[in-house]
Amino acid sequence: MIERRRLFVALSVGMLAAGLRAEAQPQARMRRIGYLSGANAQNNAVFLAAFRRGMADLRREDGTDYVIDARYANGISEALAGIAAELVATQPDLLLTAGDPPLVHLARMTSTIPIVFALGSDPVGLGFAASLRRPASNVTGLVALARDLGAKRLQLLKDAFPRVAQVVVLYASDAPGLAQWKDIEEAAPRAKLRVTGFELRQAADIEQAFKRSTASGAQAVILTQGFLISSQRHAIFDRLLRAKLPAVWPTDVHAEDGGLMSYAPSFRENFRRAAGYVDKILKGAKPGDLPIEQPVKFELVVNLKTAKAMGLTITPSILVRADRVIE
């Protein structure tokens, strides 16, 4: 009986001590991730959803292990600098962004807070990384552009619509848009196509660009990557539909949302993969030691619903090559 009491007391004391130790152990701190985009919340919803899926795959749950403080410029490039400054001032554990314009402002404002980008164009050329293999800075992530992408989009238009000879390129004034326009302009003679570029700095430029496109005899349009084009895509969809102009868009999300065609790496996949960088950095890895990754897979997406609405017929060879056809 006495032995049984002693055993009970020992077990009780042991359980109490274990409970006190558990209470004494600090809870894992919720990490704060600052997110900056030049577009709006609606445009970014699918990308942040992909990022959260990537984090969940790594057993990090939104609202439990981390929280995202998202800020948007809503297509107003002049607002980016101020919004970036406000976000950096909150001192998040890490900064996440999509492409070059937000990255430019964030990288100028902090050299200590880790920055991960999901849709970069040329981080080495822009001076944010010493090399793709070893950035040697507080910036790392994934590139969404590849050499000859403009040439491939031109050829795609020519294959889909063999009679097209005059192409208009609508490009935003930020770094990726300008780089893509130059790539397309260089590739045009090889594709035996004439191209004219129109720069978009604000939403009001869209209508003027289409008027000039009509005057120049445009038969097709290529749109480059950029937050202004992305945030104004529905207005551009409507204008293309009225003019019955075939167009190649810079992301699969645009084709899913009503664009005729897109040829690009999956932006969703890049955001999902960005979670791997974030996870490693939150565990202690240095951004400068993590190699910048380039796209490995490109998808051709064709929206037949849009083609039908525009009264366009896409050649069968393009439909056979398409990774996805939206009907």
CATH of 31-145+267-297, one of 3.40.50.2300, 3.30.470.10, 3.40.50.300, 3.40.250.10: 3.40.50.2300
The rounded distance, in Å, linking the Cα atoms of 163 and 175 is 32
**Mean model confidence pLDDT for the chain:** 90
Tokens of 311: 């009264």
Parallel, antiparallel, or unpaired: how do β-strands 115-120 and 139-143 relate? parallel
pLDDT value at position 288? Answer: 98
At 36-45, the pLDDT tens digits run 999 899 989 9
**pTM for the structure as a whole:** 0.83
| Of the candidates 298, 305, 212, 312, the residue with the CA atom closest to the CA atom of residue 259 | 305
Read off the pLDDT band of 149 (50, 70, 90): confident
pLDDT value at position 180? Answer: 87
At 70-109, the pLDDT tens digits run 999 998 889 999 999 999 999 999 999 998 899 999 999 9
| Of the candidates 171, 298, 165, 297, the residue with the CA atom closest to the CA atom of residue 222 | 171
Residues of the chain with CATH 3.40.50.2300: 31-145+267-297, 149-265+299-326
pLDDT value at position 299? Answer: 94
Q: What CATH fold (topology level) applies to the domain 149-265+299-326?
A: Rossmann fold (3.40.50)
pLDDT value at position 175? Answer: 65
| Of the candidates 102, 67, 66, the residue with the CA atom closest to the CA atom of residue 86 | 102
At 183-220, the pLDDT tens digits run 899 999 998 999 999 999 888 999 999 999 989 899 99
107 three-class SS: helix
Tell me which residue has tokens 């050829």.
155
Q: Are 228 and 171 in contact (CB under 8 A)?
A: no
Parallel, antiparallel, or unpaired: how do β-strands 194-200 and 247-249 relate? unpaired
Q: Are 301 and 256 in contact (CB under 8 A)?
A: yes
pLDDT value at position 313? Answer: 95
Q: At what angle do helices 41-57 and 267-282 cross, to 10 degrees?
A: 50
Give mean pLDDT, residues 133-160.
91
Parallel, antiparallel, or unpaired: how do β-strands 31-37 and 94-97 relate? parallel
Residue 22, pLDDT > 80, answer no
Q: Are 157 and 220 in contact (CB under 8 A)?
A: yes
Number of helices followed by number of strands (H, E) in the chain: 13, 12
The rounded distance, in Å, linking the Cα atoms of 90 and 148 is 40
Residue 287 is given by DSSP the state G
Residue 25, pLDDT > 50, answer no
Q: Are 92 and 35 in contact (CB under 8 A)?
A: no
pLDDT value at position 315? Answer: 94
Residue 77 is given by DSSP the state G
pLDDT value at position 27? Answer: 58
Give me the count of residues in the chain: 327
Return the number of other C-beta atoms located less than 10 Å from residue 235's C-beta.
13
Residue 152, pLDDT > 60, answer yes
